[in-house]
Amino acid sequence: MELSSTLHEDVLVVSACGDLNAVSCSSLEKELTAQAEAGHARIVLDLAEIRYVSSAGLRVFLVSARKLGKQGFILARPTEAVAQILKMTGFDRIVRVEPSLDAAIAAAQPDSA
């Protein structure tokens, strides 16, 4: 799994590429935890390049959402396959999901609460 991060004002965007499964989810979890511990209170996870999310990947989403809150952790641009997984499992009701990166960044801004 490839990860990259960019800062958009007060919102950190973490982009991931590949499959999010039991093998790869530890690197994503470490990155999200490290960024939160570094003081990033608002993180958008860009899923545009994620092809598949396993239950281990969903656990990473849940841990991050609990740590940062619903406005502090937002999923952006899920592929159709990932969006279906989020909907089938009910994660789209637990974690905020936005169809575009711009919408996710706007939703994470402190004044959008």
pLDDT digits (tens, 9 = 90+) for 36-69: 999 999 999 999 999 999 999 999 999 999 999 8
**What is the fold of 2-112?**
Transcription Regulator spoIIAA (3.30.750)
Could you give the angle at the alpha carbon of 66 between the alpha carbons of 36 and 43, nearest 5°?
A: 40
Task: Quickly count: other Cβ atoms within 10 Å of residue 91's Cβ.
Answer: 19
Helix (H), strand (E) at residue 107:
helix 101-108
Q: Calculate what percentage of the chain has a pLDDT beyond 70.
A: 98
Q: Where are the domains of the chain?
A: 2-112
pLDDT digits (tens, 9 = 90+) for 101-111: 999 999 998 77
pLDDT digits (tens, 9 = 90+) for 66-79: 999 888 999 999 99
